[in-house]
Chains A and B, each alone.
Chain A
Amino acid sequence: MARLARLELDEDEVVAFQGELNALLGHFMDIQGIDVSNVEAQAHAVSLQNIWAEDFPWDSLPRELALKNARVSRAGLFVVPAIIED
């Protein structure tokens, strides 16, 4: 699960999380017994559909501000670690 979530854990953490996550998931079994066969899943409290924005140009973040918090940038771009290995 940690690998899927892109979280590098040390060995102590792996042991601790195994116990904790199993305990929490055990608590979460209580909803398995409820009859929800006729209930439609609701992702939001308010039903919202197709919220469109007006299609017109407006000010966006200038490039130098967008890069201001980046640890590494070059030539107006974010520098990303190698994604495709040699």
Chain B
Amino acid sequence: MLTQLSASELGRKLAAREVSAVEVTQAHLDRISAHDGDLGCFLHVDAEGALAAAKSAQETLDKGEGGPLTGVPIALKDNMSTTGVPTTCASKILEGYVPVFDATVVKKLKDSGVVILGKTNLDEFAMGTSTENSAYKLTRNPWDKERSPGGSSGGSCAAVSAELAPLALGSDTGGSIRQPASLCGIVGFKPTYGRCSRYGLIAFGSSLDQIGPLTRTVEDAALISEVITGHDPLDSTSLKSPAIASANLKSGSLKGVKIGLPEEMFSDAIAPGVRKAVDEAIAALKAEGAEFKSVSLPSIQYGVTTYYIIAPAEASSNLARFDGIRYGPRWEGSGHIDVVAKTRGKGFGHEVKTRIMIGTYALSAGYYDAYYIRAQQVRALMIQEFDQALKDTEVLLAPTSPTVAFKLGELSDNPMALKLLDYCTIPANLGGMPSLSLNCGFSEGLPVGLQLTGARMQDERLLQLAYGVERALPNATGRPQLP
């Protein structure tokens, strides 16, 4: 079946004209029709637009032109601006909003002939770790439909895992690419902060947000990263560096590679089954010649607090733009402030309101130094510790998530437990490091993710090592069985 193929395999078949771009797109649209009613991955499927883009990609391929992903379909998290296609951030406050411009990543995908299938579900404004905070629908984990796919890029991850799309994009502010990738058994990659333009990504925490790929293989993650990254003058935090190159992906070896194991990420909070799968993976990598070294990064224990001050502070500022005046629904009232407060009170969901108020509090006079400035100092401390650890080692390895996929509703009454799921992923956002999750095994029949984090700007090397790790763990493959 075409939908079982990886993006790179599809790309090769398309370039060799063994299959047409329209056939590939139609196969994925058919699978979405068959399964998305159950899974709830998509908020909007753009069948018409996808088939038109596939036809256009085929014309390119027929001329013998195009790149390795021309004609390959992709799903986009619904917080990336797409001209003419609704973009809601899974929020009522953007119901009916149809962007009039493309995010830079969307433009790059279109320029490369990648076919956009539609927009996927997420926690409202990417705030959450279960995709249960969506104002529109639940997304179910394809491995067990009673369980969450993780979040916030839950729709994108479930879609790739269930073979509704070979590729997807997500965004990662505190782990929102890597944690759901781990829970869905796929590859999720957050590039170095600044390598992928944030222009047109609806902002949550501007110093932390980064767009990245969700794929079923490391090779696919490298290929799509090459398409979406590179300097963008429209994003002032975009680094002046070229796109992530995939050319040397397969040329590395794990022999003699120094891998750090952060002690604080192997605490008792890690579920025994997760620990076991990660330990087995470490043994397999040792057998390939990798050298392991324990490292201590004490400030990791303050990562969740630091993040839950800085990210809401930035969010409270970013989300001030949603006032019902220029876009989105408006709830009427008496005078400007009343209209804005009513619109925001009705339009935002519970978690978003929580974070806006935490951020407002942390930035308010009298609390600013004790919360916001102090969190930034802890952030600086953490960055120093990671930079030091990554001088002695090439990459840091840890579980991505302390647990496998949890039952829907299981943690919804316990906001702090949900926030602790980001314990291992948050430091890479605070430090801007590239970080990738890939499946390393199973516990209770559910996937377990392993996280690799490298030094800033070492994206190519991180992908190369991840490719080696993927080859060393042949038993970690497998796809969920859908009826």
Residue ranges of A at the interface with B (Cβ–Cβ < 8 Å): 1-10, 13, 17, 20-21, 23-25, 27-28, 30-32, 34, 36, 39-46, 48, 51, 53-54, 61, 65-66, 68-72, 78, 80-83, 85
Main SS of chain A's interface residues?
loop
Cβ contacts under 8 Å, A24 to chain B: 308, 354, 358, 415-416
Q: Name B101's closest neighbour in chain A (CB-CB).
A: A61
Cβ contacts under 8 Å, A72 to chain B: 330
Q: Which stretch, B18-26, B141-149, B371-379, B398-406, touches the partner chain A?
A: B371-379
B67 at interface (Cβ–Cβ under 8 A)? no
What separation, in Å, do the CA atoms of A49 and B386 have in the docked complex?
Answer: 23
Complex contact A31–B416 (CB within 8 A)? no
Question: Which B311-326 residues have C-beta < 8 A from chain A?
Answer: 316, 320, 323-326
Cβ contacts under 8 Å, A66 to chain B: 100, 326
Complex contact A61–B309 (CB within 8 A)? no
- Give 8 A-B contacts (CB < 8 Å), ordered by A residue: A17-B354, A17-B357, A30-B301, A30-B302, A41-B379, A46-B237, A48-B236, A69-B97
Lowest 9 A-B CB distances belong to which pairs?
Answer: A45-B432, A8-B345, A69-B327, A41-B376, A36-B377, A42-B380, A8-B341, A65-B100, A5-B360
Question: Which B330-376 residues have C-beta < 8 A from chain A?
Answer: 330, 333, 335-342, 344-346, 348, 350, 353-354, 356-358, 360-361, 364, 370-371, 373-376
Complex contact B357–A69 (CB within 8 A)? no
Complex contact B330–A71 (CB within 8 A)? yes
Q: Name B357's closest neighbour in chain A (CB-CB).
A: A1
Cβ contacts under 8 Å, A4 to chain B: 360, 364
Cβ contacts under 8 Å, B371 to chain A: 28
Other-chain residue from A23, A30, A39, A85 in contact with B380 (beta carbon distance below 8 A): A39
Other-chain residue from A2, A7, A61 in contact with B100 (beta carbon distance below 8 A): A61
Cβ contacts under 8 Å, A71 to chain B: 324-325, 328-330
What separation, in Å, do the CA atoms of A70 and B309 have in the docked complex?
Answer: 32
Q: Name B384's closest neighbour in chain A (CB-CB).
A: A39
Instruction: State the Cβ distance, A50 to closest chain B Cβ, in Å.
Output: 10
B82 at interface (Cβ–Cβ under 8 A)? no
Cβ contacts under 8 Å, A25 to chain B: 358, 361
What separation, in Å, do the CA atoms of A69 and B377 have in the docked complex?
Answer: 40
What separation, in Å, do the CA atoms of A34 and B300 have in the docked complex?
Answer: 12
Q: A71-B330, A81-B335 are in contact. Are A7 and B341 (CB under 8 A)?
A: yes
What separation, in Å, do the CA atoms of A30 and B358 have in the docked complex?
Answer: 16
